Amino acid sequence: MTERVPILRIGDLLLVSIQIDLQDQSAIALQEDLAEQISATGATGVIIDISAVDIVDSFIGRMFATIASLSRLFDADTVVVGMRPAVAITLVELGLSLGEVRTALDLERGMKILRELRPERRGPFDGDSGAVVATT
Amino acid sequence: MTSPSGSAEDVAISTDGDVVRVRQLVRNYAIQAKLSLVDQTKLVTATSELARNTLVYGGGGVATVQAVTDGRRTGVRASFHDDGPGIPDTTLALADGWSSGKGLGLGLSGARRLVDDFDLDTEVGRGTSVTVVKWSR
């Protein structure tokens, strides 16, 4: 059984918080689910929270890059937030720069980056948009 | 001289769930060996790459994890063995960016950078064995 990572919708944003030890099939499923959800909801931003992730290897790193390119095709921006220091050190030594993936220290800064990229974006604290679970 | 300081544990690698199991087992050994958090992370990441190689390129195989000592330091040794097609050109396979197409080409070369000792033994038609060691500082 492939474990699925939930995707939460907050205003114009989709939030993914990876809380499991991600196996490759789950990573592939997440890419597909996100593409579907961005297309279905018209989300303009994706935040991937990896503060609970204790390793990022080349497969998971490639998943971030794939999600970033995918969301770009739907005119959405992706930010990876909350990378642990030990993970960052390991990634650099592994040779994975994640150059094409936007990153931020934490969720708050990630949201700020997305807001600056697109000032008209509706965040969770603007207007009437409550948090809605968007996964099927 | 690296010698075992405990019994070895094997994990059969035949699904990507097994890659996760290898990571968790290596993590436990790394904590036991008192590796720093950064060194634990490096070793677990390296073994994740190697376990995936065993699965994807070797067609499955087995990982063996063991606590080791050189008399001065404690460490963790992880070996990956498969009876797959082998690697025809190891120099090329260990170069950054080399890939047979399914990855980023960082698997072997990246894993080597993350560990202290790295040994690759492969023969075309016979299979591949990779052994890595990470020492506590």
- Do strands A7-10 and A77-81 pair parallel, antiparallel, or not at all (unpaired)? unpaired
Chain pair A-B, CB pairs under 8 angstroms: 71
Distance in angstroms (rounded) separating the CA atoms of residues B65 and B25: 8
Q: What pLDDT does residue B22 have?
A: 97
Distance in angstroms (rounded) separating the CA atoms of residues B87 and B118: 16
Which residue intervals of chain A are DSSP H helices?
24-41, 58-73, 85-94, 107-117
Tell me, yes or no, if A3 comes closer than 8 A to chain B by beta carbon.
Answer: no
CA distance B15 to chain A (A): 10
Reported as a pLDDT band with limits 50, 70 and 90, residue B135 is: very high
Q: What pLDDT does residue B90 have?
A: 84
Kindly report, residue by residue over A31-87, the tens digit of the pLDDT.
999 999 999 999 999 999 999 999 999 999 999 999 999 999 999 999 999 999 999
Q: Which CATH architecture has domain A7-118?
A: 2-Layer Sandwich (3.30)
Reported as a pLDDT band with limits 50, 70 and 90, residue B95 is: confident
- Residue B80's CATH number: 3.30.565.10
Kindly report, residue by residue over B13-47, the tens digit of the pLDDT.
999 999 999 999 999 999 999 999 999 999 999 99
Question: Can you give the residue range of the structural domain that contains B101?
Answer: 3-135
Are the Cβ atoms of B104 and A96 closer than 8 angstroms? yes
Total tally of structural domains belonging to chain B:
1
Average pLDDT of every residue of chain A: 89
Name the one residue in this structure whose structure tokens are 């642990």: A84
Quick one: which of A21, A55, A16, A4 has its CA closest to B17? Answer: A21
Are the Cβ atoms of A93 and B113 closer than 8 angstroms? yes
Tell me, yes or no, if A23 comes closer than 8 A to chain B by beta carbon.
Answer: yes
Other Cβ atoms within 10 Å of B69 Cβ, number: 17
What's the burial of B39, exposed, middle or buried (CB within 10 Å: 0-12/13-18/19+)? buried
How large a percentage of chain B has pLDDT more than 90?
77
CA distance A91 to chain B (A): 9
SS3 call for B130: strand
Residues in chain B whose beta carbon is closer than 8 A to a beta carbon of chain A? 16-17, 19-20, 23-24, 27, 37-38, 40-42, 44-45, 48-49, 52, 96, 103-104, 106-107, 109-111, 113-114
Residue from B24, B27, B45 whose CB has the most chain A CBs within 10 Å, to mutate: B45
Quick one: which of A83, A105, A111 has its CA closest to A96? Answer: A83
Tell whether the model's pLDDT for residue B92 goes beyond 90.
no
Single pTM value for the model: 0.90
Tell me, yes or no, if A87 comes closer than 8 A to chain B by beta carbon.
Answer: yes
Quick one: which of B40, B58, B47, B57 has its CA closest to B20? Answer: B47
Tell whether the model's pLDDT for residue B104 goes beyond 50.
no
Kindly report, residue by residue over A76-120, the tens digit of the pLDDT.
999 999 999 999 999 999 988 888 899 999 999 999 999 998 887
Bridge partners for A32 per DSSP: none
CA distances from B46 to A4, A49, A80, A125 (A): 25, 23, 22, 41
Closest partner CB to A94 (pick from B23, B40, B110):
B110
Bridge partners for B129 per DSSP: B81, B121
Tell me, yes or no, if A94 comes closer than 8 A to chain B by beta carbon.
Answer: yes
Distance in angstroms (rounded) separating the CA atoms of residues A42 and A61: 25
